[in-house]
Amino acid sequence: MGAVFDSDALFELEPAAADNLSFTDLARQPLAELVAPDWAGALAPVEAQLRQALDYVAGDAAGHEVLPSPSNVLRAFRQPLAGVRVLIVGQDPYPTPGHAVGLSFAVDGATRPIPRSLGNIYKELEADLGFPPRVHGDLGRWAEQGVLLLNRVLSVRAGAAGSHRGKGWEDVTAAAIRAVAERPADGGSGRAPLVAILWGKDAESVRPLLGSAAVIASAHPSPLSAARGFFGSHPFSRANALLQDQGNGTIDWELPPLP
Catalytic-residue membership of 92:
yes
Cis ω for the linkage preceding 259 (within 30 of 0): no
Domains of the chain: 12-245 (3.40.470.10)
Residue ranges of alpha helices (H) inside the chain are: 15-20, 23-28, 37-43, 47-61, 116-129, 140-144, 169-181, 201-204, 235-245
Catalytic residue among 6, 8, 19, 92: 92
Asked whether the whole model's pTM tops 0.75, one would answer: yes
Residues 6+ apart with CB under 8 A from 37: 11, 80
Q: Angle, to 10 degrees, between the axis of helix 47-61 and the axis of helix 169-181?
A: 140
* Chunked mean pLDDT (size 10), the chain, 259 residues: 40 50 94 96 98 98 97 97 98 96 97 97 98 98 98 98 97 98 87 97 97 97 97 98 97 97
Nearest to 122, CA basis, from 102, 110, 138, 101 = 138
Nearest to 211, CA basis, from 249, 187, 184, 188 = 184
